[in-house]
Amino acid sequence: MGWIGRINDGVANSRVGHWFQLEGSGHPRERPGSRFTTEIRAGIISFFAMAYILAVNSSIVADSGGTCVCDSTPDDPICAANSDYLLCKNEVKRDLVTATAAISALATFFLGALANMPVGISCGMGLNAYLAYDVVGFHGSGPVPYEVAMTAIFVEGLIFFGLTILGLRQWLARAIPRSIKLATGAGIGLFLTLIGLTYSEGIGLITGAVSTPVELAGCSPADKLEDGTCPGSHKMQNPTLWLAIFCGGILTVVLTMFRVKGAILIGIILVSICSWPRGTSITAFPYTPVGDDSFNFFKKVVDFHPITRILAVQKWDISAYSGQFGRALITFLYVDILDCTGTLYSMARFSNLIDEKTQDFEGSATAYLVDSLSITIGAVFGTSPVTAFIESGAGIGEGGRTGITAMMTGFCFFVSIFFAPIFASIPPWATGCVLILIGSMMMQAVVNINWRYMGDAVPAFLTIAIMPFTYSIADGLIAGICSYIVIQVLVWAVETASMGKLTATNKKDKDPWTWRIPGGILPGWLTRLFQGKKDFWRPYADETIDGNVGVNSHEMSPIGRNADWVKPGEPLPHVGRSWFIHSGGIFYLVIMADSDGSISRYVLSESLLLIGLSIAIAIDAASQLTDLEPMTEPFVISTTRATCLALNLVSRLLMQVRYSFRSAVIKKHSASEGLASDNNKMRSQQAHNDTGELGNDGLQSSVISGPNGNNQDMNENNITKRRMGGFHLLKRSS
């Protein structure tokens, strides 16, 4: 065993290895192939793939002018020739380099440390352009000042945090249809490929055209025509293009095929070193004003520039911009939700971290919380919203599987604060082929898309196609989700109108989908808090994904503590010590046990259940913030029970509407399902009709028998179970 192997084994056997679930750590969910040195190398590669954002983001956002004031004149309304304004703008650009590096380091490091995800976070492409050219406008010509825009981003991060705390963001990630989730990864792969082929962040193989959206390019920037195209005689003549293709592309692919460690990093470093000398045809620093400025910055090597002009510039008096403020806030919010949700999910699937049952990934709630807080902190630093970066796929492709990869990437961003002249000078053609290579890897997801059924295939294809063509992950997701909904609704309408005589082709092959997510909308931490778990932020030892697992004996309330009828893995969120809820269909059954052993039950929709819980918790919290004696748990339960009674009538109506569309509402079921207690066995008993309880639905209740066919009892209260469609009801037998 070499010294690298000894380091890997030493870290794996330590607490660090156990926390990050390294291979050989003995953790029950250790991640195959995760070795410490591999994670370090992957983190460095992810950084180099993301490093372009230091220069690109600062350049784009600086076009807004930041906090600089433009003294416009009729001859120069946007201060394009105002030397004082341009000097101020350059100062803002340097501030943005530091701000981008700082927030990237902070967000990425804590995402890795807390969520154990190998994903980098930095200022999102697209959102920075929206901020600079739409919200604030070029040189401040837009409807909202820079200070108000930073306020909108600050508030958006807080709203994002609240949505994550309530579980709505995780719910969204799990509610997206499977075909669209798979298509998201492939679409992002094509999006990466397009970025890698362009001039701005790639090898310059394609460019915009006059008669067509894109065309073949490959000429040097000096040879480009005024419309941005390349003359025919100069196409494919750019030396940097061929340097990127052979050293950054083909060489990297061959090294990868022969399993050379750090193949991607080798390609990036080789191309960068070749591009730094001046006076060559492949230099990154031509003898132009821009090239001179870049080379002067590069020669400093080490330089720290403090944030002076854009730090904490939020303006809270937004009365004059309320309409535009709201528009910017909503746009930032929904783009962040779609971009980050899609990117994190795709990176988790690329890392093989997706739980196929819950369609979620471990630590998703923590990852979303880190991202939302980073948005708010980034606004204080004065930069555009941050999001998970698809370029993280470079490190994942190199073998990154744990948060150590992200922590290393974050550390590199921290170093780049002081070595920004070096890291910001990596030319785009050094990373362009890497993005193309990673894009090809991510396209592997298309083989798992259900192409047999058009209702799944067409939305997936639209998702894949629209992401690169619109240069937006969010637009691709919107197209896929909207087309999925429209197609499914139309198919349902035709089949319903024809009484089932007309069915869609290959409908039997349709991917199963339901809006009801396993475990319900309540996040795991909130469920554990209701259960009375003191360290509610920590999952149980046998919990897998954010609380969405089968109920175990230690989770059960007193009424159900001895009930073994819950099958392992069946989601059953519990609330409180003396009552619990059972999710089924679109409704919840709330069961409460009084001190005398009697049972109360209420059928509520999910939203009404949340209202009831919120009222009870708010009353209890208010009592503890005042001089009143804190309420006891039974009082909270009583308050919730009263709320449930008031809302129960509405839920009954919803239930009747739900089942009125079915041809056969009432069905008799005589199923035997296991229901065990500790030591009590009960005699066979006749099931009772529960006529009138839910509007005289006339459903039959059946005796529940144990695993061996013996009818059993639960806490000496005879409970029977019945089924309506997919909804389980429990009732007390007399």
Q: Are 267 and 252 in contact (CB under 8 A)?
A: yes
Other CB atoms within a 10 A radius of the CB of residue 457 amount to 16
- Successive 10-residue mean pLDDT values, the chain, 734 residues: 81 86 84 88 86 79 84 75 77 87 94 90 80 80 87 92 78 75 84 81 81 84 78 85 90 85 78 89 82 81 86 85 79 75 79 71 82 93 89 82 92 89 78 83 87 93 89 80 92 90 86 66 68 68 43 28 32 34 42 45 50 56 46 50 58 52 40 41 39 33 34 37 34 34
**Distances in Å between the alpha carbon of 37 and those of 11, 23, 258, 393, 402?**
10, 12, 19, 18, 12
pLDDT at 409: 94
| Secondary structure class of 199 (helix, strand, coil) | coil
Residue 148: exposed, middle, or buried by beta-carbon count in 10 A (0-12, 13-18, 19+)? buried
Alpha-helix runs per DSSP H in 116-262: 127-130, 146-165, 168-175, 178-197, 239-243, 251-257
pTM: 0.59
445: which residues sit within 8 A by CB, 6+ positions away?
182, 183, 185, 186, 189, 346, 349
Instruction: Convert 108-124 to b/e letters by CB count within 10 Å (16 or more is b).
Output: bbbbbbebbbbbbbbbb
State how far the alpha carbon of 438 is from the alpha carbons of 196, 204, 534, in Å: 10, 17, 44
| pLDDT value at residue 722 | 34
Going by the DSSP 8-state scheme, the letter that residue 286 receives in this structure is: -
CB 172 within 8 A of CB 373: no
Angstrom CA distances, 709 to 715, 717, 718, 731, stand at 19, 19, 16, 20
d(CA 63, CA 90): 10
- Please report which helix (H) or strand (E) contains residue 602, including its range: strand 599-605
Numbers of helices and strands, H then E, in the chain:
24, 11
Burial of 446 (0-12, 13-18, 19+ CB in 10 A): middle
Provide the pLDDT for residue 380.
94
114 CB contacts (<8 Å, ≥6 apart)?
A: 363, 366, 370, 403
Q: What are the CA-CA distances from residue 592 to residues 268, 632, 634 (Å)?
A: 62, 15, 10
* Ranges of each domain in the chain: 1-30, 31-177+263-426, 459-509, 524-732
Contacts of 603 (CB under 8 A, 6+ apart): 587, 588, 589, 590, 648, 651, 652, 655, 694, 729
* The residue type at 446: V
- Asked if 404 and 35 touch (Cβ cutoff 8 Å), the reply is no
Q: φ and ψ at 662, to 5 degrees?
A: -90, 145
DSSP 64-101: T-TT------SS-TT-TT-HHHHHHHHHHHHHHHHHHH
Q: Rounded to 10 degrees, what is the CA torsion of 620, 625, 627, 631? A: 20
DSSP state, residue 628: S
| Tokens 């080490």, residue located | 302
For the chain, what's the residue count? 734
Q: Which residue has the tokens 């019945």?
A: 722
Q: How many CA atoms within 13 Å lie on the side-chain side of 697? A: 24
Tell me how far apart the alpha carbons of residues 512 and 596 are, in angstroms, rounded to a whole number.
43
